[in-house]
Amino acid sequence: MSLKIKIMKKVYFKTVIILGLVVNIISCKAQQLPLNTLMENIPQNAYVKDLSNELASYIGTYKTEYQGNEITLFITKEENKPTKRMNKNFYRDALVIKYIIKNSTGTILQNTQDMNFTSDQKFHTIYSTRTRPTLNTVIFNYRGTNCGIGWGDIFLKKISDTQISWEYRPDDMVFLKGDCPQGIDRTIYLPETKDLIFTKQ
């Protein structure tokens, strides 16, 4: 066999290997699915992505007053957020709500704005879980305040470019003795109400 043929075979095999690696790398990219994909249709390590940019219009700082308290919401978008639900690990685009609640004298009652949430954070987090585009609504899961008290769902409805309507439906307002250490603030400061209007700042 001539030297020229050996070199051509070597180049051919290297080319095949490189092409194989490129195809493998491209195919390893997570499968992208739209936001409201049903859980049973989300494979492991998929990416539930905001393909139609539904979440962007909610991003911003919003304020309202409720029962003498000033409530400020800071809504941001987290892309490719690691998520675990129903024994599945996947990634999703989600809105994140952090907030500051002050009483009428300006004293801060609760502040999550400066908290750094980890992917396994148990309390204080508010993340979007699904949207209802025909109703202009995003649904959030609230993990509760200290000790998980008040966990439930929050519904934000887009009323206009500058206003959203708030509804908070707690699933658990009570705790059992021993569930929460003595001296921990067990107050739920988020407004448990419907149709509360927040205005974009």
For the chain, the structural domain boundaries read 56-74+95-200
Residue type, 12: Y
Sorting pLDDT into bands at 50, 70 and 90, what band is 164?
very high
User: Residue 168 is encoded by which pair of tokens?
Assistant: 């908070």
Kindly tell me the burial class for residue 74, based on how many C-beta atoms sit within 10 Å of its own C-beta (0-12, 13-18, 19 or more).
middle
Residue 134, number of CB atoms within 10 A of its CB: 6
Q: How many residues does the structure list for the chain? A: 201
Q: Facing residues of 130 across strands?
A: 139
Q: How far is 27 from 201, CA to CA, in rounded Å?
A: 43
Secondary structure class of 59 (helix, strand, coil): coil
pLDDT tens-digit readout, 56-73: 999 999 999 999 999 999
How does the average pLDDT of the chain come out, rounded?
A: 88
Q: Kindly state the DSSP code that residue 30 receives in the 8-state scheme.
A: P
* Predicted pLDDT at 121: 78
Q: Which run of H or of E encompasses 169? A: strand 163-170
Which pLDDT score, from 0 to 100, does residue 118 have?
A: 82
Q: What is the pTM of this model?
A: 0.81
Place of tokens 């997570």: 30
pLDDT at 7: 72
Angle value at C-alpha 139, between 112 and 117, nearest 5 degrees = 30
Amino acid residing at 119: S
Digit-coded pLDDT (tens) for 93-119: 999 999 999 999 999 999 999 998 887
Q: Is the pLDDT of residue 176 over 70?
A: no
